[in-house]
Amino acid sequence: MIKLFRTPLALALSILFASTVAATAAGILDGRAFTGMIGPAENPDLDDSLHFNDGHFWSDICTRCGFVPGTYDAEETPDGVRFTGTLESDSRGRFDYDGLVKKDGSIQVKITWERRRWYWTSRREISFVGDELRSVETTSLSQMLQSMRSLNPHGNPMCARF
């Protein structure tokens, strides 16, 4: 009789443990911010900051250009924390992020920008390379969304690149 309960109990505990690990993995970068350069993959040329908070991430430049903070997934690896996520804009397309935060605080991100029109789709490879900002308080997701309400991406000449 005890043997019958062991297998279902072990299965239930392993499912509970796996779901707990998966649930907490998404936010493991929360509270961290990175400063660096973003731009064409071969030569990032714009100063930018990348922020993680409340299970979301965003770029200062991208939010100024109308890209809404997106959720991210992350996992610990032997090389550091690998994360993926997407930032989207109604008029400028989407950025798909695939990054690695190394144990020394440096970050390298490959970004694929895709912009669809009814007559064409363009794709560009972009990158963000930087280092962690130490002892800085990060902006919360709600604060970022509130500040985005007052932005006009169409009036920002830098956004013409996107």
How do residues 30-49 score in pLDDT, each as one tens digit?
999 999 999 999 999 999 99
Report how many domains make up the chain.
1
Task: Annotate 141-150 with b (16+ C-beta within 10 A) or e (fewer).
Answer: beebeeebee
What pLDDT was estimated at residue 124? 92
Give the span between the Cα atoms of 51 and 41, in whole angstroms.
20
Give the span between the Cα atoms of 50 and 130, in whole angstroms.
9
- Confidence (pTM): 0.78
Give the span between the Cα atoms of 162 and 157, in whole angstroms.
10
In a domain? residue 40: yes
**Sign (positive/negative) of CA torsion 14, 85, 55, 132?**
positive
| In the chain, beta strands by DSSP E | 33-40, 46-53, 56-59, 70-77, 80-89, 93-102, 106-116, 121-132
**103-145, pLDDT tens digit by residue?**
999 999 999 999 887 888 889 999 999 999 987 777 888 888 8
CA 68-93-122 angle, to 5 degrees, is 155
In a domain? residue 96: yes
What pLDDT was estimated at residue 23? 40
In a domain? residue 41: yes
Range of the domain at 51: 26-161
In a domain? residue 5: no
Q: What's the CATH number where 110 sits?
A: 2.40.128
In a domain? residue 116: yes
pLDDT category of residue 25 using cuts at 50, 70 and 90: low
Lowest-pLDDT choice from 20-24, 69-73, 104-108: 20-24
In a domain? residue 8: no
In a domain? residue 20: no
In a domain? residue 93: yes
The residue that leads in pLDDT, 68 or 144, is 68
Mean per-residue pLDDT over the chain, rounded: 83
- The total of other beta-carbon atoms located within 10 Å of residue 103's CB is 9
Give the span between the Cα atoms of 19 and 152, in whole angstroms.
40
Looking at residue 106, its amino acid is S
Lowest-pLDDT choice from 11-20, 23-32, 87-96: 11-20
